[in-house]
Amino acid sequence: SALELVPFGIKPLLRRAAAYEALERYSLAYVDYKTALQVDCSVQAAHDGVNRMTKALLEKDGVNWRQKLPPIPTVPVSAQTRWSIPSAQAPGASTPPATAPQGERDETAAGMERARMLKEEGNEFVKKGNHKKAVEKYSESLKLNKECATYTNRALCFLTLKQYKEAAQDCTEALKLDPKNVKALYRRAQALKELKDYKSSIADIKSLLKTEPKNTAALRLLQELNRA
């Protein structure tokens, strides 16, 4: 196969992931999409695939779905491309070339791992009900890696803390990364409802329902908005 010739080729990984997805072998598809992101974190198709597989695996295996995953291979630095942290650049700064120096790639890879750990720490604080501390961790994580899930997690904290403008803003940032993200649309609709921007809130719910027509929480919120 193409992957035997080029073990971490983006196109073969994405093609195989799509094939696994079509066969409903979601855990194998998830591993390939995640591997593709290690090679090049800017591939939108891989981000979208990870989001879809996360949702599918959560529905199939419940909250402990990650424990059932096969191991995700570690991509050697030599195979990684286009590592760059958007947040570290000044506005208008050009993206580093694909052949960034190895030290820079190592540093960025370490930054991505640190961002993931900070996000996990934030998740733990949410479980304990400490949303202010969770916001701090998510904020640190986002400085290193602007990730959709981190924005939607922080938005949930802001909603709990009644900081509705901040919640809406985080959802907007998440939607720039993933325009159909269900959590971002739903949480922004919640925030906008609290800010009494009912028209925009209804628009978000309608966008969400195009993706998930039977989403009960969204349908319930739409009923509340129509009564508002």
pLDDT of residue 24: 85
- What does the pLDDT look like over 150-166, one tens digit per residue? 999 999 999 999 999 99
CB distance 138 to 154 below 8 Å: yes
Average pLDDT over residues 124-139: 94
Higher model confidence: residue 1 or residue 119?
119
Look up tokens 């409802």; give the residue: 193
Average pLDDT over residues 134-157: 94
Q: CA 157, CA 142: separation in Å to the nearest integer?
A: 14
pLDDT of residue 71: 85
pLDDT of residue 192: 97
User: Two tokens at 50?
Assistant: 């990870």
Instruction: Indicate the pLDDT class of residue 148, thresholds 50, 70 and 90.
Output: very high
User: Would the CA dihedral through 184, 187, 190, 193 be positive or negative?
Assistant: negative
For the chain, the first-to-last Cα distance in angstroms comes to 58
pLDDT of residue 184: 95
pLDDT of residue 83: 41
Percentage of the residues of the chain whose pLDDT score is greater than 70: 82
DSSP 101: -
Higher model confidence: residue 92 or residue 57?
57
> What's the gap between Cα 39 and its chain centre?
17
Q: CA 54, CA 164: separation in Å to the nearest integer?
A: 27
pLDDT at position 94 over 50: no
Instruction: Return the biggest CA–CA distance within the chain.
Output: 60
pLDDT of residue 79: 65
The pTM assigned to this predicted structure is 0.56
pLDDT at position 107 over 70: no
Instruction: Indicate the pLDDT class of residue 22, thresholds 50, 70 and 90.
Output: confident
Q: Which residues contact 96 (CB under 8 A, 6 or more apart)?
A: 82, 83, 84, 104
pLDDT of residue 9: 79
pLDDT at position 110 over 60: yes
Average pLDDT over residues 69-94: 57
Write down how long the chain is. 228
